[in-house]
Amino acid sequence: MSTVYEYAVLRVVPSIERGEAMNVGTVVYCRALDFLGCRTHLDEARLLVLSPGLDLDGVRAALHAIDAVCCGGDQAGQASSVSPGQRFRWLTAPRSAIVQPGPVHAGLTADPATELDRLHHRLVH
């Protein structure tokens, strides 16, 4: 039986002024199945073509922090005690950092983990 899930694409925006972005990850949340998952992939060579002076260590650190919040537990810091839904809302809140979430979209799935892999392959790779 299918249930509603939500997802957002994570993107690196090296220069707000230029408006260019590269998709680097996906986040999927399914309330009914208590699922929150993310996948990231950083194509560093491609990103450096877009922005040669980009701080890749900073981008890697931001993606690591996103993964930690998504997984929850002690590694999530202050977000460790909140629900998966609250962590999803935090991860998808608009921000002007170099790693930004895109708009949240919804769909139906019986398996959010498989949907995460499908979306990640389709939208990031």
Q: Which stretches of the chain are DSSP H helices?
A: 44-50, 56-71, 84-91, 112-123
Of the candidates 44, 65, 40, the one whose C-alpha atom is nearest the C-alpha of residue 54 is 44
Q: What is the reported pTM?
A: 0.91
At 76 the pLDDT is 65
pLDDT in tens, 25-72: 999 999 999 999 999 999 999 999 989 999 999 999 999 999 999 988
Domain spans of the chain, in order of start: 3-123
Query: Under a CB-based contact definition with an 8 Å cutoff, are residues 109 and 103 in contact?
Result: no
Tokens representing 88 are 């999803």
Would you state the pLDDT for residue 41? 96
pLDDT surpassing 80 at residue 73:
no
Residue 88: predicted pLDDT: 96
C-alpha closest to that of 38 among 99, 97, 110: 99
